[in-house]
Structure 1
Amino acid sequence: GVETEEQLQMLVNYDCQMLQGYLLSRPVDYACFIDLLQQQTRYRMKREQQA
């Protein structure tokens, strides 16, 4: 996972669009994880409708 700003920058430079790691989010429990997934899905659907 991404743990440093340097790692993040390198992956962004490689045009990585999906990242995970402690730098981006501390570990969360199952319920919080499900909430995050649902938020991501709603955000993607909204962006696709605007395109």
Structure 2
Amino acid sequence: MRERSNKTQENREQSPTEKPMMRGPERRSLGLKNDELVIFGVVVKYCTDVQHM
């Protein structure tokens, strides 16, 4: 449990700089690891870019 709390705090610090669209509560509900969050963010950005084009 303590490890998860530390990871959530790290995600909160990184979230505003990496993805302003994704908020803290949304990322915490997913319960993914940092690497998975990065991959998920790249996929989301790619999908949004394709839709705008």
TM-score range (shorter-chain normalised) is 0.3 to 0.5
Compute the TM-score of the two structures, normalised by the length of structure 2: 0.45
Q: Structure 1 length as normaliser, TM-score? A: 0.47
Instruction: Give the number of the structure whose alpha-carbon radius of gyration is greater.
Output: 1
